[in-house]
Amino acid sequence: MIAATLLAGEPLNEIYRDHKLIGNYVGRRECHIESDWLLVYKTEEAQIIFERMGAHADLFKS
């Protein structure tokens, strides 16, 4: 569902809390597949690149 929506160029449903990232992840976006299961991705031309998936604490360790 997420991949199909993104490939169609449509915005994700608000339940996924999709948003831009900053810092080391500038140019990427994050959406919540479940409350603490996140997907980090970026779009390049006609491609969507899924880069990382995991819990918030695992993805964004200091």
Q: What is the DSSP string of 6-33?
A: HHTTPPPPGGG--EE--GGGTT-EEEEE
Annotated catalytic residues are: 56
Bridge partners for 48 per DSSP: 43
